[in-house]
Structure 1
Amino acid sequence: MFSLISSANNAWQRAAQLFITIASILIIGKLITLVPVMTELEVAGVFKAAAVVWFLARLAALILFYFFAGYVIDAIPNSGGTLSFARGIAEPLTALLLVITVQALFWELLAPFVDSLGRTIYHSSAIILIVSVSIWFVVRAYRHAAYLVDTFTKLAEGFIPPQKQACPQCGSEITASAHFCNACGHKTRTSNTCPGCGAAVSDDQQYCQNCGSALGKTTVADS
Structure 2
Amino acid sequence: MAGSGATRTHRGRKSRSEEEVLYDRELEDLPPELRWREWMLRVEAVIFASAEPVTRETLARVVGKSCSVDLIIDDLREELRSRPYDLVEVAGCWQHRSRSAYASAIRASQAPTRSSPVSLTEHEAAVLAAIAYLQPVTRGELSHMFGKEVSRDTIASLRDAGFLGSGPRSPTPGAPYSYVTTKYFLSAFGLETLRELPDLERLEDAGLLSRQALQETATAERDGDVLED
Bucket of the pairwise TM-score, normalised by the shorter protein: under 0.3
Highest Rg: 1 or 2? 1
Q: Which has the higher contact order (CA 8 A, sep 6+)?
A: 2
Instruction: Report which of the two has the higher share of helix.
Output: 1
Question: What is the TM-score when the length of structure 1 is the normalising length?
Answer: 0.23
Structure number with higher strand proportion:
2
